[in-house]
Amino acid sequence: MTLANIPSQSSDPDIASISGLLHCDPRTVHNRRKRAIAALRQALGLGEDK
């Protein structure tokens, strides 16, 4: 969704957001994205996320 330029949150109800589509808090979106990037970096052998 991030690569499709969907914002993680939006105050405008007419704009789709990741947190709105997943029915979760924007902080949850941030934490999930952070963990996913760390897992990808580890799987690819790129070291820890900085």
For residue 50, what pLDDT is reported? Answer: 57
Q: What angle do CA 41, 31, 16 make, to 5 degrees?
A: 110
Chain center to CA of 21: 12
Helices (H), the chain: 18-22, 26-43
Q: How confident is the model at residue 47 (pLDDT cuts 50, 70, 90)?
A: confident
Taking the C-alpha atoms of residue 47 and residue 42, their distance in angstroms, rounded to an integer, is: 6
User: What mean pLDDT comes out for the span 21-27?
Assistant: 95
User: What mean pLDDT comes out for the span 3-19?
Assistant: 93
CB 29 within 8 A of CB 18: yes
